[in-house]
Amino acid sequence: MASLLSSSTTPKYPYPHELNIGLLVPIELSPKTYFMWRNLMLDVVKNQGLLGFIDGTTVSPLERTNVPDDGSVTGTLEIENQDYKDWKRTDQLLLRWFLSTLEAQGRLAFQGCPSAKEMWMMLEKMFGQFREASERVINEEAGKNLSHYLLLHRAALKGDWQSANNFIEKEPDSVRAIITGYWETALMVAVRSGQRKHFLKKLLQLMLPADLIVADRLGITALHIAAGVGDVEVAKLLVQKNPDTPDVPDIDKSKPILIAALHGRRNMFSYLITVTKEDVEPKPFDGQSGGRLLQALLFNELYGESYWAISIFEVASVFYSFLKEYTTLGCRSRYKH
């Protein structure tokens, strides 16, 4: 008798259904917000290993497949392909992410979209003109000829220190220059691409502490990027160079520690909680910031006495701060009398 499964029962494709996409992409998608939405969503997709679903490199398997079957005339039996079911499940998750962040009046146009890739392409076709216009404005305002930094950009992507150093020796200020249309520096590009630590260490030696709090157009610093990726070793290098980096918020008032919690980076959160100052505005453990942090910790289960990384007492302290801000929250009964 043929097996009912065409492959291993272990899913072949990531399925991060536990993520709260509303926390990670807190923007309602519309033509005016597409530029910012696209890049926030793209960061989440990349960090979860799902980029292939929207760029076409992770292709859909066949819906049906043949397995050996001694009881049939042909010696094979056609069954439903488990790999296809796993692929479809993840693809539908991406579609739900996109639709749930789209403004209500625009959802009808995308209902019935067959795949995440198709919807991504439709969004680009419909709203891409707004993104391109925004990028042109950004590049003009930056006053930079980005093609001039192409060699440095490529070197940062590849971790090619020799090529990067040759460029920097001729132009020392290029270590802090904007080299992409997103206002990224070579440091940000290198951290995002997960390059070798040797490259980052050499680059940091040529930078000033103030260079590390330079942010892209969304207010994101190199430490925000490292926090999202979960690279603790890189985070330590950045904080060692400038101890103030954990206290720099992005334009959404999110500090790196919140980014780590939102992405479920347990080890990163455990490290950042030791270097993030409690009294620097916006205070990360008080008020709205503390509430967002608490929600992310609970949602991603980054707590518990059985874990080395994050103790229940740390979560409790955040919750206490949150209750101080919203004093009536703990007094409300769930029942009506």
| DSSP string for residues in 155-207 | HHHHT-HHHHHHHHHH-GGGGGS--STT---HHHHHHHTT--HHHHHHHHHTS
- Distance, in Å, from the CA atom of 117 to the CA atom of 90, rounded to the nearest integer, reads 12
Question: pLDDT > 70: what percent of the chain?
Answer: 80
Higher pLDDT, 97 or 139: 97
Distance from C-alpha of 319 to C-alpha of 291, rounded to nearest angstrom: 7
| 21-35, 244-258, 278-292, 318-332, range with greatest mean pLDDT | 244-258
Confidence of residue 40 (pLDDT cuts 50, 70, 90): confident
71-75: average pLDDT = 69
* Radius of gyration over every alpha carbon of the chain, rounded to an integer in angstroms: 23
pLDDT number for residue 54: 95
169 or 327, which is more confident: 169
The angle subtended at Cα 30 by Cα 24 and Cα 34, nearest 5°, is 65
Higher pLDDT, 285 or 2: 285
Q: What is the Cα 101 distance to its own chain's centre?
A: 15
Confidence of residue 52 (pLDDT cuts 50, 70, 90): very high
- Region of 199 please: left (phi>0), alpha (psi -120 to 50) or beta: alpha
Residue with the bigger pLDDT between 320 and 119: it is 119
pLDDT of residue 330: 39
Q: How far is CA 39 from CA 211, 218, 234, 268, 274, in A?
A: 23, 9, 22, 22, 29
14 upstream amide cis, omega within 30 of 0 = no
Whether the per-residue pLDDT at 178 is higher than 50: the answer is yes
Residue 320, pLDDT above cutoff 70: no
Q: d(Cα 273, Cα 88) in Å, to the nearest integer?
A: 38
307, pLDDT greater than 70: no
Task: Output the six-digit token pair for 331.
Answer: 């007094």
Most confident of 4-18, 200-214, 322-336: 200-214
The 10s digit of each residue's pLDDT in 119-142 is: 999 888 877 665 555 555 555 545
| 334 contact partners, CB below 8 Å, separation of at least 6 | none
Complete domains list, the chain, with CATH: 21-139 (no CATH), 140-278 (1.25.40.20)
Q: Is the pLDDT of residue 177 over 50?
A: yes
Give me the mean pLDDT over the 327-336 stretch.
Answer: 39
Looking at the chain, the whole-number percentage of residues with pLDDT higher than 90 is 41
Q: Which residues of 106-135 are buried (b: 16+ CB within 10 A; e: fewer)?
A: beeebeebebbbebbeebeeebeebbeebe
Q: Quick check: 324 pLDDT over 60?
A: no
The gap from C-alpha 200 to its chain's centroid, in whole angstroms, comes to: 20
Helix (H, G, I), strand (E, B) or coil at 33: coil
